[in-house]
């Protein structure tokens, strides 16, 4: 599988002598984890948190190939399991959030999409996540529950790219997480569907075995799983684990 380049973003410029923590996190966590990182830095002076956000499957591939990181947060248990099977984790992962799917369409829903089955209508340009990505695996679960097979115009390596195809007008509809739809605001219209309850994704987080600062990494994991992180995640629309 081709490995995509990961965008690394810090919460701020490192201070001289600062401890740097590198967190690999699912793309759907970008907004929430950026805020969590800022709060963590404020609570731990002298700490600089840097993030790599991408599809969970791509992040696991990067880690398997030797990428240096301290913490891994996946959008599903399957990819965290791959990391565990590869001997990459220091201790057991902690489940910290859940997420469900929704349909996003261009504002005002001009194509009148009202159900998941409507995504099979002729002439509708639909985009989804690739099957190996958590949101793609969840979409396939919904397809089986509904009894349909989508014919997307593209399959993206991360959920934020699905959203981007819709907001840019390159697609009429996409299947994303409710948190991504909420973050997009009035750039999209959301269409909920009951079968989403059949494909709830659980998000685990873990310290990595090769962490350069395992004590700091553990503090970050505890921060995410504790009330400061949970408050931010709730506000973004994530469910409790």
| Residue 214 shares a structural domain with residue 190 | no
Strands 173-177 and 126-129, bridge-based pairing: parallel
| Residue 160 shares a structural domain with residue 213 | no
| Residue 194 shares a structural domain with residue 109 | yes
Residues annotated within the binding site for molybdate are: 28, 56, 159, 177
Number of domains comprising the chain = 2
Q: What is the pLDDT along the chain (241 residues), one digit of tens a residue?
A: 333 333 444 554 445 567 999 999 999 999 999 999 999 999 999 999 999 999 999 999 999 999 999 999 999 999 999 999 999 999 999 999 999 999 999 999 999 999 999 999 999 999 999 999 999 999 999 999 999 999 999 999 999 999 999 999 999 999 999 999 999 999 999 999 999 999 999 999 999 999 999 999 999 999 999 999 999 999 999 999 9
| Residue 83 shares a structural domain with residue 29 | yes
Tokens 């993030």: give the residue. 51
| Residue 67 shares a structural domain with residue 142 | no
Phi first, then psi, for residue 83 (nearest 5°) are -65, -40
pLDDT tens by residue, 175-200? 999 999 999 999 999 999 999 999 99
Domain assignment present for residue 125? The answer is yes
Q: What is the pTM of this model?
A: 0.88
What pLDDT is recorded for position 18? 77
Domain assignment present for residue 1? The answer is no
Structure token digits, residue 191: 């269409």
Residues annotated within the binding site are: 28, 56, 159, 177
Containing domain of residue 23, as a range?
19-97+203-236
pLDDT tens by residue, 104-141? 999 999 999 999 999 999 999 999 999 999 999 999 99
Cβ distance 102 to 231 under 8 Å? no
């Amino acid at each position: 599988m081709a490995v995509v380049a990961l965008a690394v973003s810090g919460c701020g410029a490192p201070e001289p002598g600062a401890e740097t923590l590198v967190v690999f996190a699912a793309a759907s966590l970008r907004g929430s984890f950026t805020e969590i990182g800022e709060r963590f830095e404020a609570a731990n002076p002298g700490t600089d948190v840097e993030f790599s956000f991408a599809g969970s499957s791509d992040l696991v591939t990067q880690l398997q190939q030797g990428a240096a990181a301290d913490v891994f947060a996946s959008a599903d248990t399957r990819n965290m399991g791959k990391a565990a099977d590869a001997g990459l984790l220091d201790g057991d992962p902690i489940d910290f959030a859940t997420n469900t799917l929704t349909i996003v369409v261009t504002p005002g829903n001009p194509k009148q999409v009202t159900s998941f089955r409507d995504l099979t209508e002729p002439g509708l340009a639909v985009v989804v996540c690739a099957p190996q990505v958590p949101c793609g695996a969840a979409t396939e679960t919904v397809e089986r529950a509904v009894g349909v097979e989508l014919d997307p115009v593209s399959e993206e390596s991360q959920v934020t790219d699905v959203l981007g195809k819709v907001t840019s007008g390159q697609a009429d509809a996409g299947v994303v997480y409710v948190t991504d739809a909420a973050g997009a605001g009035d750039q999209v219209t959301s269409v909920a569907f009951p079968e989403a309850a059949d494909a709830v994704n659980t998000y685990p987080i873990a310290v990595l075995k090769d962490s350069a600062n395992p004590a700091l990494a553990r503090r970050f994991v505890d921060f995410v799983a504790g009330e400061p992180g949970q408050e931010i995640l709730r506000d973004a629309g994530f469910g409790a684990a």
